[in-house]
Amino acid sequence: MKKYMDKLNGKIRINKNLFIFLLVIVIIGITAGALFTAIISTSDKELVVNYLNTFFDNIANNKLEYTNSFINSLILTVGLAILIWLLGVSVIGFVIVIVILFLKAFVLGFSVGSIIATFKIKGILMAIIYCFPHHVINILIFMLLSAFALIMSFRIINSITSKKPIDFKHYMNRYLTVLAFSIIILTITSIYEIYALPKVINFVMDVLKW
């Protein structure tokens, strides 16, 4: 087992400076998303409040469509992961990858900010439950995948500009390993989000007399 994990670790090792850069992008995105909840119009705020109330009411009354929600979650998360992966083998893909990661973080920040703004003190606890662990894991996976996508894109650009051949097969093997690893983890977090998270939220709502 240790030998396998060491091999996997060798395949997905990335540049720390690049990961720090992506972490900054994520932090900026989350912060911008959270602050955006304070500047949207009153009518938009009402839409957000109505959506959140409906969402939590559906959880409390067990009116969620688990199968459809799971499929939609997989399409969104795994589909986005595959898109980032594909962008990594293009010349201009690195710009779009950064934008996608920022928007992913922005949406998370907006969701958390909306929950807290709507439900105040109770919303803080609910926002924490909403984020941990699946959304945090998802962000880390997208950061990992984005890092490799950027590395691959830069290697292709460098190969073109320097007119030097690239061992595409060698890099693609590692790149495919990262994609497979990402899809497995994203599938697990989707299962938790759709099937386990509503039960956790429902339990907390009962305890808080929501």
**Cis amide prior to 198 (ω within 30 degrees):** no
Q: Residue 8's pLDDT band (boundaries 50, 70, 90)? A: very low
Q: What percent of the chain has pLDDT over 70?
A: 91
Average pLDDT of the segment spanning 19-42: 92
Question: Which tens digit of pLDDT belongs to each residue from 116-136?
Answer: 988 888 889 989 998 989 999
Half-sphere exposure of 46 (CA within 13 A, CB side): 3
What is the DSSP code (8-state) at residue 92?
S
How does pLDDT run across 152-198, given as a tens digit for each residue?
A: 888 888 777 777 777 677 778 889 999 999 999 999 999 999 999 99
Q: Are 137 and 189 in contact (CB under 8 A)?
A: yes
Find, among 118, 142, 185, 178, the residue nearest to 30 by Cα.
142
**Separation CA 47–CA 114 (nearest Å):** 11
Whole-Å CA distances, 147 to 29, 135, 205:
16, 18, 38
Q: What is the model's pTM?
A: 0.86
Length of the chain in terms of residues written:
210
- HSE of 7 in the Cβ direction (CA atoms, 13 Å)? 6
Question: Distance between CA 38 and CA 111 in Å, rounded?
Answer: 12
